[in-house]
Chain A
């Protein structure tokens, strides 16, 4: 596994990763014991790269995002692993130090723009407040920057709109405001948690294109969490597939779509309806993802896996290089691939 990761770094050149997550594990202690929400999460993110994270609801996508920005809801906590942002381990930072990272180095965009904005604050209030928290600017300069941000995210007549309250904006416009807020201190990384799920289909494409454009222009890396493979295919450079709290496959987006290796990814890709494929029945993966307190021994996917072998019920498969820059956690590849 270590070897595989290293070979991946070498192939992307000598650039240091912006974010490097290592063996991340998040647990929720409760009355009956301890629930492990995510474990063995390891991946790298290059500066300016867009990494898509897909999986079913409850796979641990949002949990991973929350762990990175340090907003796990108590009693959830990071029990193991490192989150290295340019070499600094965020998992070991104090709450106070982590607060300074949020907004300044890592921006966040949440799912529902209708509830993400405080109804009693004008858009300008929120922007100026965020800018002043992170950047050494005067109030007037912050105001100018806020106007620039609004026009950059494509809000018409920013001079007029800056004094408006969230309820005076439509859903799509609000998500643009949220994006402006996430980017206003020019962070190096943005975590976008289902940024388009709550929006109309026609608006979704606009928001995705906006994110893509801003990422390119500012060199901002993006972790795009979604369950929509279509969005990932359009936007991401690499994709990370999660299942029951673990990464099962990670690799360049074209490769994963054209040649998925892990049986779960294979199922996920097959489940995307294709126009003109002639099939009148939607393909689906049989069964449901296990709950956190009922994850089976061995590979968590084994009860639903069509290619299950004997090893699957005994040990958790490690991440194995299955193609160039592509890793999958599946026993089917243990013998030929090696580690």
Chain B
């Protein structure tokens, strides 16, 4: 187990370095950083001084080394557009995105898994057909359309829920949360649903097909032949085996929920990282873009690491201690 964690961590570091190289390349070579920083009237001398100051004349490996070093310390430079440190901007926006993403993921898991199990165990029931049809709709409708339709229904026609923003947030010092105020929770509902609905249908269909597969195996038949209760067979033996592949996919999906919150954040004007990123793109704010790139990559790497470790906890065949005996 320990060896695995060390090995995976090492691999993760390599991945992060490659991503950092990409971010660095973007930072250094998409346009001239100096030209971005200074105004029209800056003299050539001043520009050269700034260039020297920023270390842009050093050899490229040295610059990259410095970039990585800064990155590790959370230093991503200063936003061209806003003129504040990128790390500050991101730490302001991060709680909004993480709250939204985790709630969406939780919603997708807590409804997707039971729906998947139900449709696998009771394939003939009308409710199963209903779920499957609903999941088709969920998979085929684009996120922004669902968001807009929700806004139309609950925001405009019914007027129950706010249509944009986070509502009132409580500042905990290191974290701002919308979960402690009524307006914050209300504001969270529609974006979380919109973001989670695609993942929900995906998880539901995955659980369903995996479960159907597992229910056909010999060990399930043998479990029934031993007279175990349906509950023990379905929710013990079958579900446990179903969840092994589900963990992987769900982990990867959590990464993409965070990364692709951009669309939902745009539709609901959610003040998260996605919105910040969209803003950065339209103003070619390279430091924000490269910081976002590195951060999202970091999320993916961390989630993958967790999934690998979880996999080992769930599936004994992957653990190191293979003591096979002959007999």
List the B side residues contacting A115 at CB < 8 Å.
217-219
| A181 vs B230: C-alpha distance when bound (angstroms) | 18
Given contacts A119-B315, A120-B314, contact A102 B218 (CB under 8 A): no
Across the interface, A102 reaches (CB within 8 A) one of B217, B225, B236, namely: B225
Is residue B57 within 8 Å, beta carbon to beta carbon, of the partner chain? Answer: no
> A184 to nearest B CB, angstroms?
8
List the B side residues contacting A172 at CB < 8 Å.
327
Nearest B residue (CB) for A112: B218
Check A181 against B226 for contact (C-beta < 8 Å): yes
Is residue B317 within 8 Å, beta carbon to beta carbon, of the partner chain? Answer: yes
Check A110 against B327 for contact (C-beta < 8 Å): no
Nearest A residue (CB) for B221: A71
List the A side residues contacting B315 at CB < 8 Å.
119-120
> B203 to nearest A CB, angstroms?
20
Is residue B72 within 8 Å, beta carbon to beta carbon, of the partner chain? Answer: no
> A57 to nearest B CB, angstroms?
17
Across the interface, B218 reaches (CB within 8 A) one of A99, A116, A126, namely: A116
> B238 to nearest A CB, angstroms?
9
Given contacts A121-B237, A129-B232, A167-B316, contact A108 B326 (CB under 8 A): no
Given contacts A71-B224, A130-B228, contact A118 B327 (CB under 8 A): no
Is residue A262 within 8 Å, beta carbon to beta carbon, of the partner chain? Answer: no
List the B side residues contacting A159 at CB < 8 Å.
none
Is residue B240 within 8 Å, beta carbon to beta carbon, of the partner chain? Answer: yes
List the A side residues contacting B237 at CB < 8 Å.
118, 121
List the B side residues contacting A181 at CB < 8 Å.
222, 226
Check B226 against A133 for contact (C-beta < 8 Å): yes
Interface membership of chain B positions 221-260, coded 1 if the CB is closer than 8 angstroms to chain A and 0 otherwise: 1111111111010001100110010000000000000000
| A122 vs B240: C-alpha distance when bound (angstroms) | 13
Check A102 against B226 for contact (C-beta < 8 Å): yes
| A164 vs B322: C-alpha distance when bound (angstroms) | 10
Interface membership of chain B positions 33-54, coded 1 if the CB is closer than 8 angstroms to chain A and 0 otherwise: 0000000000000000000000
List the A side residues contacting B140 at CB < 8 Å.
none
Nearest A residue (CB) for B219: A118
Chain B interface residue number, banded:
20 to 34
Check B317 against A119 for contact (C-beta < 8 Å): yes
> A188 to nearest B CB, angstroms?
14
Given contacts A116-B222, A118-B223, contact A99 B229 (CB under 8 A): yes
List the B side residues contacting A121 at CB < 8 Å.
237, 240
> B146 to nearest A CB, angstroms?
37
> B234 to nearest A CB, angstroms?
13
List the B side residues contacting A103 at CB < 8 Å.
225-228
Nearest A residue (CB) for B227: A103
Which residue, of B236, B244, B316, has the highest number of chain A Cβ atoms within 10 A?
B316
Which residue, of B222, B226, B229, B316, has the highest number of chain A Cβ atoms within 10 A?
B226
| A185 vs B229: C-alpha distance when bound (angstroms) | 15
Interface membership of chain A positions 94-111, coded 1 if the CB is closer than 8 angstroms to chain B and 0 otherwise: 000001111110011010
Nearest A residue (CB) for B222: A116
List the A side residues contacting B322 at CB < 8 Å.
167-168
Check B228 against A129 for contact (C-beta < 8 Å): yes
Given contacts A167-B324, A168-B323, A170-B325, contact A110 B229 (CB under 8 A): no
| A117 vs B221: C-alpha distance when bound (angstroms) | 10
| A164 vs B327: C-alpha distance when bound (angstroms) | 15
> A137 to nearest B CB, angstroms?
15
Nearest A residue (CB) for B230: A99
Binding site for B on A (CB under 8 A): 69, 71, 99-104, 107-108, 110, 112, 115-122, 126, 129-130, 133-134, 155-156, 164-165, 167-170, 172-173, 176, 178, 181-182, 185, 203
Complex A-B: 6 CB contacts under 8 Å: A71-B221, A71-B225, A104-B227, A107-B226, A156-B327, A173-B325
> What would 16 more interface pairs be, CB under 8 Å, given A133-B227, A134-B227, A173-B325?
A71-B225, A99-B224, A99-B230, A102-B224, A115-B219, A116-B222, A117-B219, A117-B222, A118-B241, A120-B316, A130-B227, A133-B226, A170-B325, A170-B326, A181-B226, A185-B227
